[in-house]
Structure formats: structure tokens, C-alpha cells
Structure 1
Amino acid sequence: MATDESFALQHLPHTANAPRAAARARDPLRRWRIAGLILPLAFLALIEWLVRAGVLAEHLVPAPSSIAETLWQLGGERLGRHIGVSTLRVLAGFGIGSALALLLGAAMGLSRRLDALLDPAFQALRAIPSLAWVPILLLWMGIDEAPKITLVAIGAFFPVQLSVVAGIRGVDRKLVELGEVNRLSPRAMFTRILLPASLPQIFTGLRTGLSLAWMFMVAAELIAATRGLGYLLSDGRETGRPDLVFGAILLLALLGKLSDSVLKLIEARVLSWRDTADERAASRSVR
């Protein structure tokens, strides 16, 4: 009997993962995903037609072809410099802010005393708009890169910290009791039960923090920058060029989508062990 049980345990992960692997091989939502990519292109084509037909005023809503021509005239080197500077600011600020949020959020999730001490201040700081931070950071840090990266870090910090605390506090009580019955040490309890169970919510906070990092980056570059996509927005507004403004907005949307897709791919790899309702639905559709 022991031999049969050990044989079953050794082969259980392979059999359990078989439907999941088949679901990945044959995506039942492939047509819908393709339609999701076509939809924004169709929207841009509609705007192009409305502008060319005179329904929309081009000085208010430029045609997508005019936006593409403007971006082309900027030159690949100059445009790439603006994109690269903004991307580096987001990556640096998001990395710093999310790292601090993971550490403090985990400490607050594990200690109710620390949570009671810090939560009121964090909630008050979280309510401060991004533009309100700009004059303070400029006063403290000058006009170099430090205030911009700090502002991005502030934007990424609070959603990640909130998701970590909520994720740890939301772990099923039965899982915690199971760890206590098996006499797990506090470190083992965190690494083997609390952290894996809270990872889905933590990744949701990371994705939210990443989107806010892009928003806070624009707020920083609108006021105190000579390079970056936020600077292009400000320059287009001051020179009365809506094509430049909309071009910067489209680039921000594209970069935000790409960065979120990368984080979503990492989430899928890290959480591949989950057996969720979505995975079951995909398995049934393959069968």
C-alpha cells in the first residue's frame, strides 16, 4: 500500500498539470484576444475617418496619421531618448517604492501593533494628490532626477503596501491553524503558508502600483523636466500642438500596456501552481 501511495504522489503533479498544459497549448480565448488587439486599431481607423470627413476638428482631435507623422519627424534617436528616460524613471521609482512596500507591508501584516501605529499616517499620505508632492520634492531635492524618482516611488508604494497587508490578513484561518498544528516556526509559517496564499493579491497590488508609477512619472515630468514623455506633453500644450500631445499619450498607453503585460506574465509563471476556477474552466473547454 505504501508503495502504491508513493507512486501516486510522485505522479500526481504530472497528471494534475496535464489538463493545464493542454489548456495552454490550445487557448480557448484566442479569437477574443485577437479581437482585443484589433479593437483599438479599429477605433483609430474610425477617428481617422471622422477627422478626414470633417466631423471632428483636427485642431482638437488630430488624425492618427498626423500623430504618426509627428512622431516620425521627431526622429528615432530623439524619440527613443524621451522614451528611455521615462522608462528608466518608472523602473527605478517602481523598484524602490515596491521594495519598501513589500518590506513594510509584510511587517504590518504580521504585527497588528505596527499596523495600528503606521496605518493612520499611511492612509493620510496616500490621499495626497501627485501634483501636491511636486513643489515639496523640488524644494527638498532640487530639479535633478532625485525628486522625479522619489515621486514615482511614492505612487508605487501605497497600493503595493496596502495589497501586502490585505493579502496576509486575508489568508484562510484554516491554513494558519494547519501550520500551528504542524508546529511551524514563524519563518516557516510566513514562507510556506502566509506568503504563497497572499501572492495573488500582492501581484494585483504590484500591477496597480506600476500603473500609478507611470501616472506619477508624468506628473513629475510635466513640471520639472527637459526630457521624457511628460515633457513632450508639456511642450505640445505650450506650443499648441495637439498632435504632439496625443502622440505622447499614445506612447504612454503603449508602454503602460507592455509593462503590465510583462508583470502579468511573471505573475502567471510564479503562480502556475494555482488551481483556480479560471484554470478549471480552461481545462473543461479543452476537453
Structure 2
Amino acid sequence: MAHGDADGVCSAALVKAALAGDYDEVRIYFTHPVDLVKDFREAAAGDVYIVDVAIDEKIAGEAREVFSRYTGRVVYIDHHPLSADLPGVEVVHEEGPSASELVYRRLAGRLPRAYTRVALYGAISDYMDYTEWVRSALERWDKRIVYYEAGVLMQGLERARKDHEFKREVVNHLAGNGAPSAMAKLLKLAEEQARVNEALVGWVEKNALVEGKVAYVINPPGPLGLAANLARGLKDALVGLAAEERGEIYVMSLRSSAGVDLNAFLREFARRQSASGGGHKNAAGARIPRALLGDLLRELNLYISRQTRGRASSQ
């Protein structure tokens, strides 16, 4: 069970490549934090590896109970802040590296060294290409090629969105250590996404609003994470936020500069508002009622002020 972004896809591919000889079949199921428990109940069979899927605080207790009652083996490999202890589960957890790096390090004894490039694709795609392991692994490759292939993978998967069947094809391709650019459809999707991204730059520059230290956009015509990053950078804000309307809910991505812990803020906000939110310190997401957007922006600015004052007083 994996997240559907490039880091999750690479993690799933590494698991499949390493364990294919141990099982008659290795099935890939894509999920995300909010639906993890529901999807686990529906799809779990035999030994289960969960990779690159955070456990949302709202379902942490339920996840603990469901995993502990499961009669098979459960291995949880993730790099998001861990919101629950998981008795009976084999947990591989570390903040800082990508999930792909953690999976490779866990299963390296079962994989040829050439599979480091698959882990590198995931690390680069998740902005986690600064670890000692990544630096060491990159020395064995021409990093220009690795970064190009990671870009093709990341852009192509973004364009594929929820086409899980195609994403399974990508997992199978990577599990055979194939280069992303060797998949004609993936390469075509990446080219399409590159054009969308270029148009998004101009759209964000024209439409981003600024409230305090937060720049935000609503319903951007492109990826939310990228739109949030662009809003932050183009408007010289400490935090960028991009939200998409889905009925009465806003699904949003946030990006911050160093020093603003988005995960801590969103988890606390979500806990008080019975919403969902969290992720990494500088890259996180949330699902909140649309009526709460103003409250979130106001509280986020107060949180930023407290954090920046705290850093100034400690210097």
C-alpha cells in the first residue's frame, strides 16, 4: 500500500523488486492518510507493506486497533512525523530521508546496487536529496541523468493524477529498473505537465493574494503543491498555500521556508477544528471546511509571528 506520488511509487517499486521472489504475487494498492484504514480493511491480504503514507491523527487510534488485530505481517515504512505507536507492526521510521531511501536501506540486501537510482528518483521528487545516503548514491551515477529521469517521473505521475492502473504499470516498470523516460506514455504526460506548470507560473503571479506572511491561491489550474511553492516564492512570503474547492471542503497544500513548522501548526489546527492536516515541516496538506479558511489564515499568521519571535529571541 503506497502513496501515489513519485516517492510512493518508487517505494512500492523497490518493495516489489526486492520481494517478488518470496510471493506468488505482489499487489500494489494506492492510498492516502485519510483513507488508509478504510483501504487497509478492504485490500489487506497476506503480508502488507505500507510505504510513504502518513497516519492522520483523526484515525490514529483506529489504525492502531486495525493493524494490531490483523493476523498477517504489517511493515510500515514512512518519513512523516509519526502520530501513533503501532504495537505489533514492524516500523521503519525516520524524518529527513525520503520513503524511497528508507525502503532501499531496509531492503538493500535483496536488491542489486543499480536500484539505488530508483530510490534516488523518489528522494529527488520529494525534495529530500540532501541526505548523506543520497549524496553517496549520486556519486555512483551521472547526476544529470538521474535528475532528468526523476523529473520525467514526477511530472508524468502528476499528470496521471488518479489513474492508478497506469501508476501500477509505472511501478512494474521501475521494479524492473527501467528508466522513466523509456515509457512513452509517461514521457508524453511529463511533457504535457511541463506546459501546465509553465502556464501556472503566470497564473499564480497574477492571482495570488497575500495576507500577512502567507500568500495563497484558490483553485489554481495546476498542481496544488507547485502552486503553493510558486505563491510563496513569487510573493516573497514565508508560507504559500494553494486550495481547491471540493464541495464544502477545501483540499490544500502548504509550503514554507525554513523555520515555519507547517506540520505542527496543521495538526494542532485540525485537532481543534475536527479537520485533517499534517505532513512535513516545510510541506504539508489539509482538508478543512471552506468556512474555516479565514480562521486558518489568521491563526497561521499568528503562529508564524510566534515562531519568528522565538527564533529572534534565541539568537
Q: Smaller-chain TM-score range?
A: under 0.3
Larger Rg computed on CA atoms: 1
If the length of structure 2 is used for normalisation, what is the TM-score? 0.24
Structure number with the higher helix fraction is 1
- The higher relative CO (CA closer than 8 Å, separation ≥ 6) is in 1
